[in-house]
């Protein structure tokens, strides 16, 4: 197998490396580099502006909407170099990776002109309004409804687990627009403004005091008639593309963050004298091997997309199931290496995170350290973006050709 990229892709890699070394703060990524929370806030603002000026946010989007029109391979190289330097590469997760690509695929010209520039500049904060109390894996069971009232949709219902809803300007929301139609038909994909009367966001506080996600209640909430993406009652198809983006991104870079964490866990095992324990050694070797498998599977996915063989949805299901479960095992191993210490608060609320994602699941009043925070957050990784069981159903039905699971009733 030849894993070398073509010379033009390597040339482009040089351009990105130069840009990163000119623009990242001195000492970035070196041992001992740190920022105060205030410095981090300023850095985040300035960095987003620099990314935008460089054209690197959503750089594969077409030039007419402000992207750079990069080829798939150039985008992959861009992602790889940013991941190698641990440099952030996005304005807003939901805008860049979910609603933006959905708009490009399904939006009208007017919708693209209206929303895409704001997404690229990171000016619009988004949240995803799919899940409801009785509609998660069985998403088509959703009950939130939208009815036309003159030139506006009137939305009533409830969403749950809505990440970032407190800060969002818009929610991309699935609502039932034809209650008479069969379950998967009669759903529309709406872009609903969040800052208005009738939208009530109730944070869901977790055990550590943080409240990353929320319940969102809609009472006679207004949404312009033209904010339907992909046509009225066609929302199921549109939503499936959004979920495809959620599962298919960063195929060759995802493993890097796990490798970085693994190296920290390995150092910890050395520091604590645990590398002589045969069971710990075995689990370390298993974790490392699984990260290698992720790296190779990333190349498989990339090859599949480049060759247009279109098994990406099935490969993505395998990848999501694999990385989320492997990550949980690795974080459990980290806690076992910490031993009884893992049960006390090892962090400092003001401390900067050294690992990507290390601040997640860590509130100021519950100062766990990076590894503990990652352990907690890893518990959610087999749930969001489609549970591990649902990924197995996809693999069973679409790859292995097993009979579809019986429907209740």
Residues that bind ligand FAD (CB under 6 A): 127-131, 136-137, 161-163, 213, 380, 383-384, 387, 389-390, 393, 405
Round the CA-based radius of gyration of the chain to a whole number and report it. 22
Q: Which is nearer to ligand FAD, 150 or 408 (CB)?
A: 408
CB of 221 to ligand FAD, least distance (A): 16
- Cα separation, 307 vs 138, in Å, equals 32
Closest CA to 321 of 255, 253, 256, 394: 394
Rounded to whole angstroms, the Cα distance separating 232 from 188 reads 5
| Residue 154: φ, ψ to 5° | -110, 120
Nearer to ligand FAD, 77 or 124 (CB): 124
Which residue lies nearer to ligand FAD by CB, 104 or 239? 239
Under DSSP, the state recorded for 397 is I
CB of 87 to ligand FAD, least distance (A): 24
Q: What is the DSSP string of 62-118?
A: -GGGT-----HHHHHHHHHHHHHTT----S-HIIIIIIHHHHHHH--HHHHHHHHHH
CA dihedral 264, 265, 271, 273 (to 10 degrees): -160
Least separation in angstroms between CB 353 and ligand FAD:
17
246 is catalytic: yes
Q: State the nearest-atom distance from the C-beta of 206 to ligand FAD, in Å.
A: 10
Choose between 121 and 360: whose C-beta lies nearer to ligand FAD. 360
Between 12 and 377, CB nearer to ligand FAD: 377
Torsions phi, psi for 216 (to 5 deg):
-130, 125
Marked catalytic residue, from 74, 212, 246, 381: 246
For the bound state, the minimum distance from the C-beta of residue 103 to ligand FAD, rounded and expressed in Å, comes to 18
Please identify every residue annotated as catalytic: 246
């Amino acid at each position: 197998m030849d894993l070398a990229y073509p010379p033009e892709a390597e040339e482009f890699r040089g351009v990105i490396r130069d840009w990163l070394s000119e623009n990242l703060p001195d000492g970035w990524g070196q041992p001992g580099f740190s920022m105060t929370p205030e410095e981090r806030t300023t850095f985040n603002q300035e960095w987003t502006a620099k990314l935008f000026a460089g054209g690197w946010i959503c750089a594969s989007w077409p030039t007419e909407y402000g992207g750079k029109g990069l080829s798939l391979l150039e985008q992959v190289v861009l992602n790889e170099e940013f991941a190698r330097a641990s440099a952030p590469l996005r304005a807003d997760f939901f805008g860049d990776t979910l609603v933006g690509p959905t708009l490009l695929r399904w939006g009208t010209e007017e919708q693209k002109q209206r929303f895409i520039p704001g997404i690229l500049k990171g000016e619009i904060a988004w949240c995803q309004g799919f899940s409801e109390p009785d509609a998660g894996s069985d998403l088509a069971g959703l009950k939130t409804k939208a009815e036309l009232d003159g030139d506006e949709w009137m939305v009533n219902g409830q969403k749950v687990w809505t990440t970032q809803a407190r800060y969002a300007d818009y929610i991309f929301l699935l609502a039932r627009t034809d209650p008479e139609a069969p379950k998967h038909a009669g759903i529309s994909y709406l872009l609903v403004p969040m800052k208005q009367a009738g939208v009530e966001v109730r944070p869901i506080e977790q055990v550590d005091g943080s409240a990353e996600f929320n319940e969102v209640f809609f009472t006679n909430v207004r949404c312009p008639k033209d904010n339907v993406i992909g046509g009225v009652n066609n929302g199921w198809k549109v939503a499936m593309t959004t979920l495809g983006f959620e599962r298919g991104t960063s195929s060759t870079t995802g493993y890097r963050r796990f490798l970085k964490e693994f190296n920290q866990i390995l150092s910890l095992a050395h520091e604590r004298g645990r590398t002589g324990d045969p069971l710990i050694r075995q689990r370390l070797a298993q974790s490392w091997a699984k990260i290698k498998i992720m790296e190779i599977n990333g190349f498989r996915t990339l090859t599949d997309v480049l060759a247009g063989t279109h098994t990406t949805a099935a490969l993505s299901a395998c990848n999501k199931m694999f990385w989320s479960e492997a990550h949980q095992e690795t974080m459990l191993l980290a806690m076992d290496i910490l031993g009884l210490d893992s049960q006390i608060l090892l962090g400092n609320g003001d401390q900067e995170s050294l690992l990507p994602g290390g601040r997640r699941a860590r509130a100021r009043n519950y100062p766990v350290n990076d590894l503990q925070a990652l352990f907690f957050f890893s518990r959610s990784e087999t749930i969001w973006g489609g549970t591990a069981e649902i990924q197995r159903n996809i693999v069973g039905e679409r790859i292995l050709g097993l009979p579809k699971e019986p429907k209740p009733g």
